[in-house]
Amino acid sequence: MKAEEKPANLSKKRRKKVRNPHHFSPKTNIIMTVLLGLSAFLCIFPFLYVIIISVSSEESLIRYGYKLIPEEWSLDAYSYLWNMRGQLFQSFGISLLVTILGTVISVLMITMYAYAISRPQFRYRGFFTFFAFFTMLFNAGLVPLYIVMNQFLDLRNTIWALILPLAMNAFYIIIMRTFFVRSIPEAILESARIDGASEWRIFFKISVPLAVPGIATIALFSTLGYWNDWFHALLFIDDPNLVPLQALLMRIENNLEFIRQNTELGGAVQEIYATVPQDAAKMAMVVIATLPIALTYPFFQKYFISGLTIGGVKE
Amino acid sequence: MKKFFRNLWENRTWLLMVLPGTLWFILLAYIPMAGNVIAFKEYTIHPEGFIASIIHSDWVGFDNFKFLFSTSDAWVITRNTILYNLVFILLGLALAVALAILLSQLANKRLAKVYQTGMLFPHFLSWVVVSYFVFSFLSMDKGLFNNILESLGMSGISWYHEPEYWPYILTSMNVWKTVGFSSIIYLAAIAGINRDYYEAAMIDGASKWQQIKHVTLPALMPLMVILTILDIGKIFRADFGLFYQVPRDSGTLYSVTNVIDTYVYRGLMQMGDISMTTAAGLYQSMVGLILVLLTNYIVKRIDKDYALF
């Protein structure tokens, strides 16, 4: 806000000189600064609200509902989650493993594929470009994929059911190909060839280092895709040992919902209901699953932005 | 023939590079594509596995499609998918462009960057997380909205059982999650507009609004048209997470939350009519293919650089 106040302190004459004519007039600028500030706040507010709920005591949640300022603060939800950390750590580990392994595999496959179809020396580049591209035009559909994964490849309840479906993506291949075409002058590769370097050596020693910004973009898209994936766990995973964090979040909800709906079932269930800080614990899990992203995305966003602008323009 | 093998050998490095990806495409894209023949069969599981199941299932021609379109579901899911996407596209476009223009005009550039970072946040979240965000507002007995209603002396609303509110809720959530990200591309385009146009307009005495109307918007128009047409190519494809997670799969809301993607998912998981569900998926893919080809053709005629192929 300070920057907006400054021009008001100057004389009217100076203000005219200082003001950039490409910006709003000072008055409109203040209104718009507030308005846009509110919109930006609205984008992060739900997360702050969920954090607040997670540190409210269960009793005050039951009595007063989700308050913006809780009647009583409490970290019970987090200590409860700490007590059931076995499943939580397991799921966190699965998410981490799937994300890291998946991103490495995915980036390797996409980069090699994109590089090959970006090279004019590759005789069959047209065919392989279309081979990847057609999968963007015609979607195979959910049911056939489900049957192939379960009955043909037999990947149900394996870590590969979470990794493979997201490993290739024709759109990323197109982005990477554009990146290779733009960032690697053929002349450099030609001189390396004259020096007797093999194509693999050229690929790893020259092309990949030159394409690091593009590869970073793909890697981040991929990381986010794996970390946030719950859909493939919904389809292919029943084994509690293989449930990733996002899917655990989804399932906890279903389980608690089930307990809540069946409270008249009997003593044992009711006992669980009474001791679990239900609402706060759910929201605490949301916080734990979201925090890694919330803390890191501001540093990575420029790669997402550059990916978006590369993706918009073709070779 | 000999020449063909020599060509293969000469291209071995490149072929090796595309090999893993090609295998992936065959196994997880092309074999499933071929699996769509199930839509024309009465799928029965055969003990000898997937291929045997397909071979041993009886052909039924277009019966699965006839059955699908004889139900009211086909109409409801098609209507919902198209109408929601249409609203998302138009509203998203208007808001993304407006946001980009406003951000570009802000005097404090660092603040504009901070705002932009804030508005990008929803893009990085999964729909599961977002569904909890929504729940914290809409919970019947504890949510923020009902708290406010009750403090105003009104009775709370059972949000997850009242279909009338959901078109607005789903639209708001989609806008909330996507607009910050989609404004980026317009922001980049605005930065690329030649400043001389504005200076010329200012010399002619154009107001800020007139400058936006006569310089900024016309300059953004080609990009707006192209991105919109490309979006229309995807109009038959709904965001599964939005329509499945955010309404918490509430049955009373299906009339306004069921889209083709959720229908296919539920068909697969609950109804068990594999063939008819495949038919629904194939219907989506076929219309999708036609739309993408059509919209790409139109984009190509406007600006070749933006066409997909």
Kindly report, residue by residue over A208-227, the tens digit of the pLDDT. 998 888 898 899 999 999 99
Chain A, nearest residue to B234 by Cα: A137
Whole-number Å distance between alpha carbons of A243 and A95? 8
In B, minimum Cα distance to A114 occurs at: B18
CA distance A36 to chain B (A): 7
DSSP secondary structure of A51-82: HHHHTB-HHHHHHH-S-SS-SSB--HHHHHHH
Residues B223 and B88: their CA atoms lie apart, in Å, by: 17
Task: Give the residue, A2 or A237, on which the prediction is more confident.
Answer: A237
Residue of A25, A33, A143, A231 for testing the chain B interface, max B β-carbons within 10 Å: A143
- Give the bridge partners for A73, in sequence order: A56
Tell me if B64 is assigned to some domain.
Answer: no
CA distance A40 to B117: 8
Q: What are the phi and psi torsion angles at B158 (to 5°)?
A: -85, 80
Chain A with chain B: Cβ pairs closer than 8 A: 286
Q: Is residue B65 part of a domain?
A: no
- Which residues in B lie closer than 8 A to residue A127 (C-beta atoms)? none
Select the residue of B50, B103, B261 nearest A36 (Cβ to Cβ). B103
Q: How far is CA B5 from CA B2, B14, B23, B227, in A?
A: 5, 14, 20, 44
Q: Which residue has the tokens 């990733």?
A: A244
Give B284 to chain A, closest Cα distance, Å. Answer: 8
Q: Are B263 and B280 in contact (CB under 8 A)?
A: yes
Which residues fall within 8 angstroms of residue B239, CB to CB, at 6 or more apart? B127, B174, B261
B166 within a domain of the structure (yes/no): yes
Return contacts of B192-195, CB within 8 angstroms, 24+ apart: B193/B219, B195/A22
Residue of A nearest to B245 (CA): A250
Of B17, B18, B132, the CB nearest to A282: B132
Confidence class for position A276, pLDDT limits 50, 70, 90: low
Domain limits, chain A: 2-54, 80-312
Q: Cβ contacts (< 8 Å) between A137 and chain B: which residues?
A: 289, 292-293
Distance, in angstroms, between A37 CA and closest chain B CA? 6
Which residues of chain B does A308 touch, with a Cβ-Cβ cutoff of 8 Å?
A: 181, 184-185
Q: Is B42 helix (H, G, I), strand (E, B) or coil?
A: strand
Among the partner residues A230, A297, A313, nearest to B128 by beta-carbon distance: A230
In Å, how far are A121, B161, B175, B206 from A32, measured between CA atoms? Answer: 54, 38, 20, 20
- Which residues of chain A neighbour B303 with C-beta distances below 8 Å? none
* Contacts with A125 from chain B: Cβ below 8 Å: 14
Residue B120 and residue B51 share a domain = no
The DSSP line for A106-140 is: HHHHHHHHHHHHH-TT-TTHHHHHHHHHHHHHS--
Tell me, yes or no, whether B34 and B87 share the same domain: no
Residue of A nearest to B240 (CA): A231
- Nearest CA to CA, how far is A71 from chain B (Å)? 14
Mutate which of B123, B136, B198, B292 to test chain A, going by most A C-beta atoms within 10 A?
A: B136
Q: What is the pLDDT of residues A113-170, one digit of tens each?
A: 999 999 988 999 999 999 999 998 899 999 999 999 998 999 999 999 999 999 999 9
pLDDT band at A307 (very low <50, low <70, confident <90, very high): low
> Is the same domain home to B16 and B93?
no
Map residue B92 onto helix, strand or coil.
helix
The phi and psi torsions of B58 (rounded to 5 degrees) equal -80, 145
Q: What is the pLDDT of residue A257?
A: 52
What does the pLDDT read at residue A254?
Answer: 62
pLDDT band at A264 (very low <50, low <70, confident <90, very high): very low
Q: pLDDT below 50 — which residues of chain B?
A: none
Give the pLDDT score at B18.
96
Per the structure, how many domains does chain B have? 2
Task: Read off the pLDDT band of A309 (50, 70, 90).
Answer: low
Dist CA B253 CA A144 (whole Å): 28
Please indicate whether, in this complex, the C-beta atoms of B108 and A33 are within 8 angstroms of each other: yes
Same-domain pairing of B9 and B115: no
Asked whether residue B242 falls in the same domain as residue B280, the answer is: yes
Residue A43: which of B33, B122, B245 has the nearest Cβ?
A: B122
Q: What's the confidence (pLDDT) of residue A253?
A: 64
Sign of the dihedral defined by the CA atoms of residues A138, A144, A150, A156, in that order = positive
Q: Among A176-190, A249-263, B24-38, B186-200, which is the least confidently predicted range?
A: A249-263
Mean pLDDT over all residues of chain A? 84
B296: domain CATH number is 1.10.3720.10
Residues B158 and B31 in one domain: no
B277 and B201 both lie in a single domain? yes
Q: Give the list of residues 6+ apart from residue B112 with CB closer than 8 angstroms, or none.
A: A36, B103, B104, B106
- Residue A260, classed as helix, strand or coil, is helix
A263, A273 Cβ separation under 8 angstroms: yes
pLDDT for res A18:
58
Distance, in angstroms, between B86 CA and closest chain A CA? Answer: 20
User: Residue B35: which domain range?
Assistant: 2-59
Looking at the domain assignment, is residue B157 inside a domain?
yes
Q: Domain spanning A80-312 has what CATH number?
A: 1.10.3720.10
- B100 found inside a domain: yes
Shared domain for B75 and B219, answered yes or no, is: yes
Please report whether residue B117 resides in a domain. yes
Last residue of a domain, one of B26, B59, B92: B59
* Least confident segment among A1-10, A81-90, A96-105, B277-286: A1-10
Contacts of A101 (CB under 8 A, 6+ apart): A159, A163
Find chain B residues with C-beta within 8 A of A119's C-beta.
14
For residue A129, give both structure tokens: 């470009």
Q: Do A199 and B18 touch (CB under 8 A)?
A: no
Q: What is the mean pLDDT of residues A261-280?
A: 54
In a domain, B78, yes or no: yes
Asked whether the beta carbons of residue B265 and residue A142 sit closer than 8 angstroms, the reply is yes
Residues forming a β-bridge with B42: B58
Which among A22-36, A38-52, B105-119, B291-305 has the top mean pLDDT? Answer: A38-52
Residues B111 and B6 in one domain: no
pLDDT at B239: 95
